[in-house]
Amino acid sequence: MEILNQLTFARMYTLGKIKQSNGAAWDVKPNGFNNTIHWNTGHVFATMESLTKRAIPSYEPVNSEWLPLFVPGTNPDNWQIEPPTMEELIQALEAQPARIKKALENNMQNQLTEPMAIGKLYQMDTVEAIVQFMVWHEGVHAGIIHALNRATME
């Protein structure tokens, strides 16, 4: 399925932006930004794990202990536990697409047990719709990581 190839492409782009990051800027939150490169990187990982679980209820998320750090509404200012390092997140992001694609590939046309809505704007009813959202979501956060890279340049 072409959408699964787009998932891989989006991840390659995201990893490129993350690897361009200055390590010293990893936890800097510039004025005008709600979060850091660190948080956005973890959020990309956590969101793909969570959405795969939603699409395939039998799927068991990897590094599930990280998920509470990176769900929407969280902020590194409020972290109570040590977050994964840049190296740990990069390794997890590199390994994730193949594992996720394997979980999803034969299930794309399946109906979700419970539709997922984004406010009143959009309702997703199939696994394929969730994957399309994953690709879009990753692109948004790759753009934020790119902007954070530029905002934290010295």
Give the model's pLDDT for residue 68: 95
Closest among 41, 48, 46 to 21, alpha carbons compared: 41
Amino acid at 130: I
Does the structure show a pLDDT above 90 at 22? no
Q: Where are the domains of the chain?
A: 2-71+81-151
117 phi/psi in degrees, rounded to 5: -110, 145
pTM of the model: 0.95
* CA distance linking residue 7 with residue 42, whole number of Å: 17
**Structure-block tokens of residue 38:** 């660190």
Does the structure show a pLDDT above 90 at 28? yes
Q: What is the mean pLDDT of residues 36-56?
A: 97
Q: What is the mean pLDDT of residues 47-71?
A: 96
Find tokens 């999803």 and name the residue: 104
Q: What is the mean pLDDT of residues 59-82?
A: 95
Give the model's pLDDT for residue 110: 94
Q: Name the fold adopted by 2-71+81-151.
A: Four Helix Bundle (Hemerythrin (Met), subunit A) (1.20.120)
